[in-house]
């Protein structure tokens, strides 16, 4: 079997087929039209990030970038062997066009919409949900990182540290601005705990939340 070009695809932590994958996607341009980028995050059923990808796509409008992000996410899901997908994006226009609630009028978007629909038909099940912008932070971050760096971004480690929902309290927030020595921090997902023995010498504004191996920020126990 020929090896894939390592520079052409993001690294995948798991190669075994997966039944369902969640796809979060975002696209944007600076100028509309202008330099454009896409961001996608693919996660397993338990929330484990599998792929995080930001990519520049040249000059495009916001809506074209959104469609190209969705298409890239669907292609990655197929590559991972998913049979079902849960799709979440913060563009109400794209989501409603995919659901058939809005008509597709722009010539460029007609082509991309048809391509996305063909990919959707290849899955046994495809659920399409509108995702609030506040819950699509990582995909948006990947778009902007790709545009800033003018290169592909495949920071799966960043996906792990950012996979918690924005409205979920962090450990630092639960106890004040600075974690307290002797405090115990618990993961709300898997239940593991850690105890803080000695406070870091870093300045308070440099401290980061504790993150469990499963990707969720840990909360201080009361």
CATH of the domain at 26: 3.30.420.10
Q: Structural domain tally of the chain?
A: 2
Confidence (pLDDT) at 158: 52
Select from 161, 184, 202 the last residue of a domain. 161
Write the pLDDT tens digit of every residue in 48-63. 889 999 999 999 999 9
Tokens of 90: 């913060």
pTM beyond cutoff 0.75 = no
Sheet with 34-43, edge to edge strand ranges: 49-60, 34-43, 20-29, 84-89, 125-130
Q: Is residue 4 part of a domain?
A: no
Q: Give the N- to C-terminal CA distance of the chain in Å, as an integer.
A: 55
My answer on whether 120 and 144 are in the same domain is yes
Sheet with 219-220, edge to edge strand ranges: 193-195, 184-186, 219-220
Confidence (pLDDT) at 206: 46
Q: Is residue 88 part of a domain?
A: yes
My answer on whether 114 and 206 are in the same domain is no
Which regions of the chain are under pLDDT 70?
1-18, 155-182, 187-191, 199-222
Confidence (pLDDT) at 212: 65
Confidence (pLDDT) at 64: 97
Confidence (pLDDT) at 10: 45
Do residues 120 and 126 lie in contact, with contact meaning Cβ atoms separated by under 8 Å?
yes
Confidence (pLDDT) at 2: 40
Q: Is residue 10 part of a domain?
A: no
């Amino acid at each position: 079997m020929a090896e894939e070009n390592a520079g052409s695809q993001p690294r995948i932590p798991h190669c075994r087929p997966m039944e369902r994958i969640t796809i979060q996607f975002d696209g944007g341009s600076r100028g509309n039209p202008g330099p454009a980028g896409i961001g996608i995050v693919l996660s397993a059923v338990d929330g484990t990030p599998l792929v995080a990808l930001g990519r520049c796509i040249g000059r495009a409008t916001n809506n074209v970038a959104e469609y190209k992000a969705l298409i890239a996410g669907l292609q990655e899901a197929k590559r991972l062997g998913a049979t079902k997908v849960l799709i979440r994006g913060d563009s109400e226009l794209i989501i409603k066009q995919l659901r058939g609630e809005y008509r597709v009028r722009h010539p460029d978007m007609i082509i991309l919409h048809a391509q996305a629909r063909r990919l959707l038909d290849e899955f046994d099940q495809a659920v399409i949900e509108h995702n609030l912008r506040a819950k699509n932070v990582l995909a948006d971050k990947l778009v902007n990182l790709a545009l800033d760096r003018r290169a592909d971004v495949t920071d799966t480690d960043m996906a792990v540290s950012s996979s918690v929902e924005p409205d979920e309290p962090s450990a630092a927030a639960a106890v004040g601005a600075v974690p307290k020595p002797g405090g115990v921090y618990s993961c709300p997902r898997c239940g593991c705990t850690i105890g803080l023995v000695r406070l870091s010498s870093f300045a308070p504004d440099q401290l980061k939340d504790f993150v469990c191996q499963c990707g969720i920020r840990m909360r201080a126990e009361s």
